[in-house]
């Protein structure tokens, strides 16, 4: 049996508009009422995020003074995962078709995400994604989980998944961050990094994934081709 464990935000959900709207809110909230700042365009902002420029530095680039930038950074962390902003998320182009291909090919499919249960349920309900991921194929954080760092928390989810899921002949992880790559590598799971999420190629290459592809669709096509070649 071939298994695909996919991250959620990035491969399946485009979070760029949520992050940008939170950026604009935090910039406006952190400046003085009459202060002139330099709001970044969405493309400029997202490029900085994908190259892992710190929030504090994004605040400075946007015209904030150092104390304001510190407040901006803290406010962003408090705001970006609040319910009022999840409505800005959208499906990544081609994600549904890719998931349908996985199912049609008989590949075992699971999702592994740093979202909490309520945050994942919101997206599942909004986009009717339960058909792809039954409860026993969902690995996420409990609503009361105290997060540390994704690179620490996500490997724990991977450990749990590998202990609970049925044995597979071949398992691949698909994700868009260093946390996905580390979680996979820590447990000897092969990993494909996608460029449609919150990290650029240069950042992903630092963590040496097995492959870097553009989208979940490309990852799925490669897996299906691999599956067919094994059958042949």
For tokens 């304001």, the residue is 68
For tokens 């996985």, the residue is 102
In this structure, the answer to whether residues 190 and 132 fall within a common structural domain is yes
Predicted confidence (pLDDT) at residue 106 exceeds the cutoff of 60: yes
Domain limits for position 41: 16-87
Using pLDDT thresholds of 50, 70 and 90, give the confidence band for residue 226.
confident
In contact, 159 and 187? CB cutoff 8 Å:
yes
CA pair distance 155, 193, nearest whole angstrom: 16
Task: Count Cβ atoms below 10 Å from residue 5 Cβ, excluding itself.
Answer: 27
In this structure, the answer to whether residues 167 and 64 fall within a common structural domain is no
pLDDT at 228: 67
Q: Which of 190, 230, 180 is nearest to 210 (CA)?
A: 190
pLDDT at 227: 74
In this structure, the answer to whether residues 66 and 163 fall within a common structural domain is no
* HEC readout, 117-181: HHHHHHHHHHHCCCCCCCHHHEEEECCCCCCCCHHHHHHHHHHHHHHHCCCCCEEEEEECCHHHH
In contact, 19 and 49? CB cutoff 8 Å:
yes
Last residue of one domain, picked from the residues 67, 87, 107? 87
Last residue of one domain, picked from the residues 39, 67, 87? 87
In contact, 210 and 175? CB cutoff 8 Å:
no
In this structure, the answer to whether residues 207 and 169 fall within a common structural domain is yes
In this structure, the answer to whether residues 114 and 225 fall within a common structural domain is yes
Average pLDDT of every residue of the chain: 96
pLDDT digits (tens, 9 = 90+) for 144-182: 998 889 999 999 999 999 999 999 999 999 999 999 999
Q: How many domains does the chain have?
A: 2
Percent of the chain with pLDDT strictly greater than 70: 98
pLDDT at 146: 87
pLDDT digits (tens, 9 = 90+) for 59-100: 999 999 999 999 999 999 999 999 999 999 999 999 999 999
pLDDT at 115: 96
In contact, 196 and 219? CB cutoff 8 Å:
no
> What is the domain-level CATH number for residue 110?
3.40.50.1000
In this structure, the answer to whether residues 152 and 225 fall within a common structural domain is yes
pLDDT digits (tens, 9 = 90+) for 15-32: 999 999 999 999 999 999
In this structure, the answer to whether residues 62 and 146 fall within a common structural domain is no
Long-range contacts at 38-45 (CB < 8 A, ≥ 24 apart): 38/62, 38/63, 42/16, 42/17, 45/19, 45/20
pLDDT at 210: 97
pLDDT digits (tens, 9 = 90+) for 31-51: 999 999 999 999 999 999 999
In contact, 1 and 168? CB cutoff 8 Å:
yes
In this structure, the answer to whether residues 158 and 99 fall within a common structural domain is yes
Q: Quick one: which H or E segment has residue 21?
A: helix 16-30
Using pLDDT thresholds of 50, 70 and 90, give the confidence band for residue 230.
low
In this structure, the answer to whether residues 97 and 181 fall within a common structural domain is yes
In contact, 193 and 209? CB cutoff 8 Å:
yes
């Amino acid at each position: 049996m071939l298994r695909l464990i996919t991250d959620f935000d990035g491969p399946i959900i485009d979070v760029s508009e949520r992050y940008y709207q939170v950026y604009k809110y935090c910039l406006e909230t952190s400046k003085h009422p009459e202060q002139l700042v330099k709001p970044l365009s969405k493309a400029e902002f997202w490029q900085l995020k994908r190259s892992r420029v710190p929030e504090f530095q994004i605040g400075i680039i946007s015209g904030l003074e150092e104390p304001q930038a510190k407040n901006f950074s803290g406010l962003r962390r408090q705001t970006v995962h609040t319910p009022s902003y999840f409505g800005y998320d959208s499906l990544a182009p081609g994600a549904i078709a890719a998931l349908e291909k996985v199912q049609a090919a008989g590949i075992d499919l699971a999702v592994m995400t740093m979202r909490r249960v309520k945050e994942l349920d919101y997206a599942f309900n909004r986009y009717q994604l339960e058909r792809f991921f039954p409860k026993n194929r969902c690995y996420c954080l409990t609503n009361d989980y105290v997060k540390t760092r994704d690179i620490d928390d996500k490997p724990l989810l991977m450990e749990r998944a590998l202990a609970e899921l049925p044995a597979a002949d071949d398992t691949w992880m698909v994700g868009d961050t260093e946390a996905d790559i580390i979680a996979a590598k820590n447990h000897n799971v092969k990993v494909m990094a996608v460029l449609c999420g919150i990290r650029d190629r240069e950042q992903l290459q630092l963590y040496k994934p097995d492959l870097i592809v553009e989208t979940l669709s490309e990852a799925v096509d490669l897996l299906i081709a691999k599956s067919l070649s094994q059958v042949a």
